[in-house]
Structure 1
């Protein structure tokens, strides 16, 4: 992706994204509905119609959510044979399961007989899946195992070809992705430079694997792309979350005061992915040299760990990781690894989106990690929980964007902040300040690419 040029002049001349001649585009109330969806993403702005047009939404479900890698689970949610999780890829219901050989499968949650769902429980451990309508039964790998009164199917149906529809499933460092597109590039190629940041995020296990501690699910009345923008939007943080900032200790408040810190930046990582480094010195937890004092509010936790015979070195790793990492990693199109939790989005309709905030913590001996994870859960509840400070404030902002988007359909949504000061790192990552909108532009360029692919 080229380094972005300064925003276009008011004449409407827009520099092309991939070379070629400049084009002139003006959204007006009369013509904004005439453009093809892919023409609605310009260099420094996108059309508000992208939030409100049901036809665009339907096209997104086909061209994006059914053609790329979509996050479906963390490996800790499938701890043993028979474990499963019911979730969605776009709007399509799927089941992610672990078979008796340890293999992970993702299958469409739809019986091959008359189309009923075969699983209505969010998670659990089973021997297989049975349709409640006519009792067709399927194995953990989706294969059709049994049909009641099979005599009527003799000679007219092969059970081998009637298993649950399978999605291609791959994982990286515990993050499980699935896709309906069996010809897509391997997951690791799709992730590219993101892999280093996933590895850094997983280091907050402090020497232990990470596990899911719990999930908070809620719905907001807005388009999914509004939330996609939010994860690498440092510009809103001290404004929207000022109430949360007023509740934390001075050390945390100082750590999160990144608005004027020139070292706080956002990197564009390719394929629509980006990472926002709010606290760069905490981006690599394994680089801790021991010089930063542990915060006094963790003194009780430190005392409990010492009382359980935990070494000073391990205490340091566990407590230093309490804040999570110092960055938000946004993976196009549906998952982010945000400081110390996972956030996923699921599009329901053009103006409705389901969000899950997934709390995580180290998975180790209970006498060591239980106290740590209780502390992590309290911190998660304070910001991400249903009665926390962060989630209600964010959701109110997202709702307001959707309500406002129906007015002035010719008025664009601006994503030009920082485009004039964007540079490249040694790795080749387009980079700008943490308050800039580089991550949003990257996601919309990927959106444009996929929506242009017929």
Structure 2
């Protein structure tokens, strides 16, 4: 079939246990995704800790469209298309900063933090031609949940809380990893791989690959850490389909809710220096110290939020589609806002060891993703199988489809949402 020739029967590209290889390779299908998915639903753009003060901003993307996320003088959060209303130049190229507003470098049209057009140089040529109130920056719809900022070009998009649905309690649990301190972004790094965005989307709740792709990381850490993530035969390691394309994969069941502690878990020896340093602080109780140290690796699950952000144990992984066969990834390290320096430093070292540009995990993942793209190009008419665990998948007590963490329940959920959005109204 030719999706370029009218997208005939796109629904047939996604089955219950497989998807067509052309989902990774068809440029026309990719263009449709940008419209039907990335410009139609909620897309994650930032965390509130990245813009804490009035005038703070960061630039990012919604699909392939550049946006500016700002905190205005009234404390409001705005997401603005990074495009001057005059001749279309980008307004801001800095990744983040603090500003009173934004001025176009081409003809100096200037805009407020909320997008209002404030000034036009040499306005006499615009008398009876332009009213400033008619030409604000394009504003996206904004929603915030638990500090997570989402935006949508679709004014009629469903309420954010409805879109997140059964993922909301998992977001709440994820935010518990900072032991009572607010979550803060400590930094990030980004890289690109030569592959389709959906290859990475599949990865976050895919524990089947972990002991294979990440053997080098497993051999580089202490036995306690390696044992914590040895889940192949662990019946408590499960994946839940959460609806709307979202899924969660549990790897360390006892760390799903970090507020729950029966006191029997031994703290890892590798963190003894943290216990020692925190114990010198007379304001810290033994219970607080234990709570912080138990959370050093983050939570015991990976949460995938369709279509572009994962909340993976202790960091955010954000994808940005560049083209049908290229994707940018941002790995965002998290810490305790106002928390002990020794804790935030150690969390950064843990992040760097796996997710960092010189770590063990990211290069291995990126190579695997690129190999999928190269392999599919050699046989795009062959299906991609997402059938692992299908025979043992069943609803749990809450009605969520559930299977083992190594099964492909999360992928089937994401592709069900993909199919729904790509065929809606046809």
TM bracket, shorter-chain basis = over 0.9
- Partner SS, residue 285 of structure 1: coil
Q: What is aligned with 2:123? A: 150
Q: What is aligned with 1:4? A: none
1:259 lines up with 2:232 in the alignment: yes
Indicate which of 288, 311, 333 corresponds to 1:359.
Answer: 333
Q: Displacement of 1:38 after TM fit? A: 2.8
Structure-2 change in CA distance of 1:430 and 1:313 (3 Å): same
Aligned residues: 422
1:324 lines up with 2:324 in the alignment: no
What is the CA deviation profile of residues 96-121 of structure 1, one whole-angstrom value per residue up to 9, with x for unaligned ones? 00001100000000000000000010
Q: Displacement of 1:426 after TM fit? A: 1.3
Map 1:330-341 to 2 at 5 A.
330-341=304-315
1:369 lines up with 2:343 in the alignment: no
Indicate which of 348, 352, 358 corresponds to 1:381.
Answer: 352
What is the CA deviation profile of residues 34-85 of structure 1, one whole-angstrom value per residue up to 9, with x for unaligned ones? 7533320011100001101100000000000000000000000001000001
Q: What is aligned with 1:213? A: 186
Q: What is aligned with 2:169? A: 196
TM-score when scaled to structure 2? 0.97
C-alpha distance in 2 between matches for 1:433 and 1:289: 25
Map 1:368-447 to 2 at 5 A.
368-447=339-418
Q: Is the 8 A contact 1:83 1:123 kept in 2?
A: yes
Q: What is aligned with 2:30? A: 57
The RMSD of aligned alpha carbons is 1.1
Q: What is aligned with 2:76? A: 103
Indicate which of 43, 46, 50 corresponds to 1:73.
Answer: 46
C-alpha distance in 1 between matches for 2:269 and 2:381: 53
Q: Is the 8 A contact 2:25 2:380 kept in 1?
A: no
1:185 lines up with 2:155 in the alignment: no
TM-score when scaled to structure 1? 0.91
- Partner SS, residue 388 of structure 2: coil
Q: Is the 8 A contact 2:44 2:308 kept in 1?
A: yes
C-alpha distance in 1 between matches for 2:12 and 2:29: 12
Q: Is the 8 A contact 2:190 2:328 kept in 1?
A: yes
Q: Displacement of 1:247 after TM fit? A: 1.0
Q: What is aligned with 1:349? A: 323
Give ranges in structure 2 of 5+ residues lacking alignment: none
Which 10-residue stretch deviates more, 187-196 or 36-45?
Answer: 36-45
Structure-2 change in CA distance of 1:221 and 1:343 (3 Å): same
Q: Displacement of 1:425 after TM fit? A: 1.0
C-alpha distance in 1 between matches for 2:384 and 2:4: 15
Q: Displacement of 1:31 after TM fit? A: 7.3
1:223 lines up with 2:171 in the alignment: no
C-alpha distance in 2 between matches for 1:80 and 1:214: 17
Structure-2 change in CA distance of 1:32 and 1:101 (3 Å): closer
- Partner SS, residue 310 of structure 2: strand
Structure-2 change in CA distance of 1:33 and 1:156 (3 Å): closer
C-alpha distance in 2 between matches for 1:32 and 1:130: 42
What is the CA deviation profile of residues 301-325 of structure 1, one whole-angstrom value per residue up to 9, with x for unaligned ones? 1111112332212111111100100
C-alpha distance in 1 between matches for 2:37 and 2:3: 22
Q: Is the 8 A contact 1:63 1:450 kept in 2?
A: yes
C-alpha distance in 2 between matches for 1:228 and 1:279: 21
Give ranges in structure 1 of 5+ residues lacking alignment: 1-29
- Partner SS, residue 220 of structure 2: coil
- Partner SS, residue 79 of structure 1: coil
C-alpha distance in 1 between matches for 2:178 and 2:3: 48
What is the CA deviation profile of residues 152-211 of structure 1, one whole-angstrom value per residue up to 9, with x for unaligned ones? 111122111101000000100000000000101110010011110000000001010100
Map 1:290-301 to 2 at 5 A.
290-301=263-274
What is the CA deviation profile of residues 132-168 of structure 1, one whole-angstrom value per residue up to 9, with x for unaligned ones? 0000000000000000011111112211110100000
